[in-house]
Structure 1
Amino acid sequence: MPDLTPGVTLVDVDDDLGVTPVQALLLDQVLGGDGPAFWVDGANRANTTRLRKLAPADRVLDRIEVARGFTAHQHTSLLDRLAGRLDARGSPSTVVVTGLDGMYRGADIADELAEQMFIQAIASVARVARVHDVPVIVTRCREDEFSRPLRRAAVTHLECRATPFGPRFEDAAGEMETLVYHTGDGWMQTTLAYWREVLKHRARMHEASTLERAAGPIGVQ
């Protein structure tokens, strides 16, 4: 999995992979951090049943709060409230906003207002990333002219593509890609089992890193 840096990271995922790679990124950030995580959904992608199946341990889920907006006004309100909630609770390990453009493409609001609210939503997630210096993972429903402001606001743009050996993350500039896959039984499928296995390994890596930091430097006699 890619190591995310603070700032807005736009992740475009192949349709047949669904939201699972983004959920895996969310869990990986929680495993490697100390703060809570927040997931704001605007495209009916917040599947907590799948999230629980992916998690290496149930205790990881205690640090994730999930909210879903069903209209454009609800969605912008949730993002505004999120910023205030983070100010009260301290810095999170990560924030995920799936389908950021979804609620602003509906027919219930005028086009001009929809565009204004979409820009406001982008500004809210950018502020969270800037003020708290944390990764904010966002996805979009479609790549088109309407979603272009989100692409411009993103510090990092990742793509997750299906390959014969499993999903592969790469950045749009071609400077980062995950190339190493274990090709034994069970690893060549782009399924829930694949991501669960990846997260188990990542959890062990994070735990080892935490123990190493806790031990501190070894003095020389």
Structure 2
Amino acid sequence: MSTRSRRPTADLPDLTPGVTLVDVDDDLGVTPVQALLLDRVLAGDGRAFWVDGANRANTTRLRDLAPADRVLNRIEVARGFTAHQHTSLLDRLAGRLTARESPSVVVATGLDGMYRTADISAELAEQLFIRAIASVARIARVHDVPVLVTRCRKDDFSRPLRRAAATHLQCRATPFGPRFKDTAGGEETLVYHTGDGWMQTTLAYWQEVLEHRARIHEASTLELAAGPVGVQ
């Protein structure tokens, strides 16, 4: 559903359980994925886990984006610096989560990045990449939660990741603001809340979006806690 009015809005896509591949314009960087991560943490009670394979896990930016510091206490970040290390991190996460409460969301940025390096053979790189995909798919299936993944390049090598994803979102820069589009269903969410028609992709823009979303989630939580109002 597109949001095209000039009234202040701050919409983000609703994430469904399963693997979701997010392709983001280079100009927008990883910030839209961080916004989705934080929004999911705000909406639920579980912890979030972010495994990075392309040096995209900027925790300073994540701290700046978070509407409150308490949100960050529920996010764990890990980085893989080699193909074997990255695969091991995802294997361990998948095994660890089977014995504890389900997470609110899992993010794996640059999932294909470590498997494109020249320090391992092409055959082994492909095997480890498929194993990494299987790990994130297992997490999504066992815990029935959204798992957000990104890729470094859209090519034949990363095609298995696209096939494994139940949902494919594209985040594009438009004159009206960043636009998330579901390539299968055609649904669009325009993250647009400026009154002058100009797009803002600065940190301040995404901070304002998340602050607005935090107020929405807080209001929903209060309504649920209050329960139905009876008439005596």
> Do structure 1's residue 216 and structure 2's residue 227 form an aligned pair?
yes
> Do structure 1's residue 78 and structure 2's residue 97 form an aligned pair?
no
Q: Distance in 2 between matches of 1:38 and 1:174?
A: 27
Q: Distance in 1 between matches of 2:79 and 2:197?
A: 33
Per-residue CA distance 1:161-193 (angstroms, 9 max, x = gap):
011122111111352111362233697311111
Counterpart secondary structure, 1:178: strand
CA-CA distance at 1:142 after TM superposition: 0.4
Q: Give the TM-score of the pair, scaled to structure 1.
A: 0.96
Q: Do the aligned partners of residues 83 and 180 (structure 1) sit closer, same or farther apart at CA in structure 2, a change above 3 Å counting?
A: closer
Q: Which AA in structure 1 matches 2:132?
A: A
> Do structure 1's residue 170 and structure 2's residue 181 form an aligned pair?
yes
Q: Is the 8 A contact 1:187 1:194 kept in 2?
A: no
Of the structure 1 ranges 71-80 and 177-186, higher mean CA displacement relative to structure 2 is found in 177-186
Match of 1:195 among 199, 206, 223: 206
Q: Give the TM-score of the pair, scaled to structure 2.
A: 0.92
Give the count of matched residue pairs. Answer: 221
Matching of residues 137-152 of structure 1 within 5 Å = 137-152=148-163
Counterpart secondary structure, 2:99: helix
Matching of residues 108-123 of structure 1 within 5 Å = 108-123=119-134
Match of 2:101 in 1: 90
Ranges in structure 1 where 5+ consecutive residues have no aligned partner: none
> Do structure 1's residue 62 and structure 2's residue 73 form an aligned pair?
yes
Q: Which AA in structure 2 matches 1:102?
A: G
> Do structure 1's residue 23 and structure 2's residue 49 form an aligned pair?
no
Q: Which AA in structure 1 matches 2:102?
A: S
CA-CA distance at 1:216 after TM superposition: 1.2
Q: Do the aligned partners of residues 122 and 180 (structure 1) sit closer, same or farther apart at CA in structure 2, a change above 3 Å counting?
A: closer
Q: Which AA in structure 2 matches 1:19?
A: V
Q: Is the 8 A contact 1:36 1:93 kept in 2?
A: yes
Match of 1:101 among 107, 112, 119: 112
CA-CA distance at 1:199 after TM superposition: 0.2
Q: Which AA in structure 1 matches 2:211?
A: K
Match of 1:9 among 10, 15, 20: 20
Root-mean-square deviation (Å): 1.4
Ranges in structure 2 where 5+ consecutive residues have no aligned partner: 1-11
Match of 2:143 among 132, 150, 162: 132
Percent identity over the alignment? 86
